[in-house]
Amino acid sequence: MGFEQAMTKVLKYCAACWHLFRVNNLIIIILTAFLLQYFLIVPTLINYGYDNCFSTMEWTCFVAGIVLIAAGGNCINDCMDIISDIVNKKKNKVIGQTISYNRGMIIYYITTISGLLLSIVPSYEKNMPWIFICFLLCALLLWQYSTLWKKKLLIGNLFIAILSSWVVFFLFLIPINIFKGINENIIQDFYLLMFCYGGLAFLFTFIRELIKTMEDVRGDARTHCRTIAVVWGIKKTKQITLAFIAIAIITLSFITIILFVYQHFFLATYAGLGLVCPTCLLFYETSIIKNSKTCHKPSLLSKIIMLLGILSAVLVY
């Protein structure tokens, strides 16, 4: 094999791994963890006269563990979706083409076990065994989701939404546990931030999951997955999705008004223009969905809104 052929093969394999792990989504997880930690949690601690509750090594192991568990979850999901991906992911299908099923399973075990091992570091250093237990539970639930739950009506969608908000809740729960009984004011601030960001992460992930069921309806029907779009059809799924988007618009509008009342004008303006307006656009784009082929734009828009929501952390302090 010549050098050019070898390099082509390596690049092809790297591109396959990029799609397999959903690296774009993993980058969003890292960005979320970084912004929440260093623009919300640490500034809140400093305001009350405390230092960062994580050392650099603990935080790095913690986030790397989350990323590897998520990468493993994406890998096992593709391994279990070989048939449906023939329809849903013609261009980006990895397992069964560039990477074999057996090799995909090996990659899954390596990434998941590595993530669990890394979670031992913050768990041990903070004397919080529940951190490792939560990582282990998350890994087991991702397996359960890929092999069973994703084929059940709404259960899989709710699980992914909960898992998305879990990252946010998890980051705040550690300092909450550290400062419980020491400073109740800081606990109240953390709870407020946790439920705002975690709740919105849950809501928009669930909205995107509903849109995704409409986008993947053909492949899911072929593999007998009982998703909401397969069972109730695209029209009814679209109506339910619009109802949740309306809830998101009302919630974000309420938050914007509260921010104006408390004179956080810059953050309020960002919430109004950067979150409420795009969510209204999402409502319109979802309302004109006719079939699975017209779902890509609202699906992408929901991701952009989630990213804009995360970026708002920069403006809080």
Q: Are 70 and 118 in contact (CB under 8 A)?
A: no
**Mean pLDDT computed over 143-172:** 84
**Mean pLDDT computed over 105-114:** 93
Q: Which residue has the higher pLDDT, 51 or 191?
A: 191
| pLDDT confidence bin for 126, thresholds 50/70/90 | confident
pLDDT single digits (tens) 217-242? 887 777 677 788 888 988 999 999 99
Distance, CA of 92 to chain centre: 20
Distance, CA of 277 to chain centre: 22
* Secondary structure of the chain in HEC code, one letter for each residue: CCHHHHHHHHHHHHHHHHHHHCHHHHHHHHHHHHHHHHHHHHHHHHHCCCCCCCCHHHHHHHHHHHHHHHHHHHHHHHHCCHHHHHHHCCCCCCECCCECHHHHHHHHHHHHHHHHHHHHHHHHHCCCHHHHHHHHHHHHHHHHHHHCHHHCCCHHHHHHHHHHHHHHHHHHHHHHHHHCCCCHHHHHHHHHHHHHHHHHHHHHHHHHHHHHHHHCHHHHHHCCCCCHHHHHHHHHHHHHHHHHHHHHHHHHHHHHHHHHHCCCHHHHHHHHHHHHHHHHHHHHHHHCCCCHHHCHHHHHHHHHHHHHHHHCHHHHC
- Please state, for a pLDDT cut of 90, what percent of the chain lies above it: 48
Q: Are 150 and 110 in contact (CB under 8 A)?
A: no
Q: Which residue has the higher pLDDT, 90 or 22?
A: 22
- The C-alpha atoms of residue 272 and residue 255 are separated, in whole angstroms, by 9
Q: Output the average pLDDT for the chain.
A: 87
pLDDT at 94 over 80: no
pLDDT single digits (tens) 243-275? 999 999 999 999 999 999 988 899 999 999 999
pLDDT single digits (tens) 23-81? 888 999 999 999 999 999 999 999 888 887 788 898 999 999 999 999 999 888 888 87
